[in-house]
Amino acid sequence: MNLEATIQSVVAQSVKTLYNIDVENNQIQIQKTKKEFEGDLTVVVFPFAKAARKSPEATGQEIGEFIVQNHAVVSAFNVIKGFLNLSIHPSYWLETLDTIHGNAGFGKTLPTGKADTMMIEYSSPNTNKPLHLGHIRNNLLGFSIAEIQKANGWKVVKTNIVNDRGIHICKSMLAWKLFGNGETPESSGMKGDHLVGKYYVVFDKAYKAEIKELMEKGMTEEEAKKNAPLILEAQNMLLAWENNDMEVRQLWKTMNGWVYAGFDETYKQMGVDFDKIYYESETYLTGKSEVERGVAEKVFYQRDDKSVWADLTGDGLDEKLLLRTDGTSVYMTQDIGTAKLRYNDFDIKKMVYVVGNEQNYHFQVLSILLDKLGYAWGKDLVHFSYGMVELPEGKMKSREGTVVDADDLMAEMIDSARETSQELGKLDNCTPEEIESVARMVGLGALKYFILKVDPRKNMTFNPKESIDFNGNTGPFIQYTHARIKSVLRKAVEQGINFGIGIDKSLEISEKESYLIQLLTEFPNIIKQAGEEFSPALIANYEYELVKEFNQFYHDFSILKEDNEALRQFRLVLSASVAKVIKTGMGLLGIEVPERM
């Protein structure tokens, strides 16, 4: 039983004895005592005052006296109006710290052999351009949510759907064919995904020029967009691809191969991975067959122009296109096919799509369509909808080449971390190899933490300069605190101090020290809540709160220079436990923490 549940039980017993009131434990309101008052936990006593026929203050006084006299876990109390503030006995906190220190996996619930499977889809790139800042937020959220769900006992399958076919892919292919002169990653020295992205921009510029020319000849903008030679040729290329034209398919395989090699490098640097990758080129046919089955079963209908639609007006929505007039599929068709294949491949209890909030309608429709097709799990799909990320300069557009490239941003963050760390003297005693390792950890940690500390459902602005600060609510501040604790622990070992032998439970400890232990005890519940809400931000901001409190403790109390051996032992165990929770929590965010800085 955790402390809050214990106090609820104690209060329930007290009001039963004092006032003959029967109350369920979960009806008793418990909260952390506000910092300006003495105590650890606060009980709201207003609900009992009426039955006791006494003022809230008198009721709180009587309950407090009874608890202190009859329950050793509470050492003292005070009453502020209708709030009973309870001070927990130091021996409880010391016993708790001993347990935390001895539990290597503290905070986590490890999956069992019977664990349910949760599949989490994230990344979902197109093979016509490299990954950008928006993909970074997607990948970091997806990976972190997967780690958090694992820590809550789920068996997790991390998956990616690569959008490797469609008109956008053909645009890059056509531009390379027309203007590329045989350029390759090897001949250009560019990463493959960057090279293909270059030709996506080339296509857009040439296409806009054609539109302008046609408009000057009298066409409307809409007519010019539909009749520009380049877009017509790209559409023909897509049809040729769907008809298995050998030349088009070979060019597609070659250029996609360049992109995949580039993606692999980016994912590795970012520190994310996948258990299973699906490709739209392999799933869209399954989706088409499901749509055709839907037509045969009169779930969907076909118009005179041969296009296939779902009528969702009865669900409060509109009509949704599923197959175009020429028989080519749309994203929805692919997602139907992918969903079916995934449920065939894995015994999925919960399917989570990590996709930006601009796709809210898409996933609302997908859930309804799968349900209409007879899949019981359709209604249970989870769209983890997150907000957009921008730089201080504003929005990004891939077609115009103004996108913030993920590789460039990560490289810049690592360079900035190296420069800032050296300026502050935090790498003075490090070898060149350690300097590069720390620069990578701090640079990527700054990027990841800054993005993940924000409520994922909100739009955000990523500020590189703010993120690399070694003070405040930043990744480097937390990483440096971990390294500082590790330095203290190494010095203790060098001095022959053995702090793994247990704690003297009769110690008198300060309010600051007991509060730090109380913060540590909250870690399992924070992980649980982060899993229920799909919110890495809860982990990130808990880590900051813990580190902020530890640094105040570190400033106010001696550790290695403490003369009282038992107190020194306790403070070393406390520091080691904080370091462990920092490392575990940051690991759930996909962030490494250095051993030394």
Task: Give the pLDDT confidence of 328-347 residue by residue, as tens digits.
Answer: 788 899 999 999 999 999 99
Q: Where in the chain is the domain with CATH 3.30.1360.70?
A: 3-88
Chain position carrying tokens 């030349």: 247
Three-state helix/strand/coil letters over 98-140: HHHHHCCCCCCECCCCCCCEEEEECCCCECCCCCEHHHHHHHH
Phi-psi region of 562 (alpha: psi -120 to 50; beta: other; left: phi over 0): beta
- Topology, domain 122-390: Rossmann fold (3.40.50)
CATH architecture of 3-88: 2-Layer Sandwich (3.30)
Residue 394 has pLDDT above 60, yes or no: no
CATH homologous superfamily of 406-588: Isoleucyl-tRNA Synthetase; Domain 1 (1.10.730.10)
Output the average pLDDT for the chain. 93
Q: Please work out, in degrees rounded to the nearest 5, the angle formed at the alpha carbon of residue 398 by the alpha carbons of 396 and 404.
A: 50
Confidence at residue 429, expressed as pLDDT on a 0 to 100 scale: 79
**What are the residues whose beta carbons fall under 8 Å from the beta carbon of 501, sequence distance 6 or more?**
569
Sheet holding 276-279, edge to edge: 276-279, 155-162, 117-121, 348-356, 382-386
What are the pLDDT digits (tens) for 111-132?
777 889 999 999 999 999 999 9
Reported as a pLDDT band with limits 50, 70 and 90, residue 430 is confident
Q: Where, residue-wise, is CATH 1.10.730.10 in the chain? A: 406-588
- How far apart are alpha carbons 477 and 544 in whole angstroms? 8
**pLDDT band at residue 593 using 50, 70 and 90 as cut-offs:** very high
Report whether pLDDT(410) > 70: yes
Per-residue pLDDT, 398: 40
Return the pLDDT at 402: 53
Sign of the alpha-carbon dihedral angle for 431, 435, 436, 442: positive
- pLDDT, one tens digit per residue, over 131-170 is 999 999 999 999 999 999 999 999 999 999 999 988 999 9
Please give the share of the chain, as a percent, with pLDDT higher than 90.
Answer: 81
Q: What is the mean pLDDT of residues 351-377?
A: 94
What is the side-by-side order of every strand in the sheet holding 319-323?
301-302, 308-311, 319-323
391 within 8 A of 404, measured Cβ to Cβ:
yes
CB–CB of 483/594 below 8 Å?
yes
Which residue in this structure is represented by tokens 């924070």?
Answer: 526
What values do phi and psi take at 585, rounded to 5? -65, -45
pLDDT of residue 207: 97
Which token pair is 499?
Answer: 């702090």
* CA torsion through residues 355, 358, 362, 368, sign: positive
Where does CATH 3.40.50.620 sit in the chain?
122-390
Q: How far is C-alpha 223 from the geometric centre of its chain's CA atoms?
A: 43
Q: Could you read off the pLDDT of 25-60 as tens digits, one per residue? A: 878 999 989 988 999 999 999 988 888 889 999 999
Q: Indicate the burial class of 317 (C-beta count within 10 angstroms; 0-12, 13-18, 19 or more).
A: middle
Q: Determine the pLDDT at residue 330.
A: 87
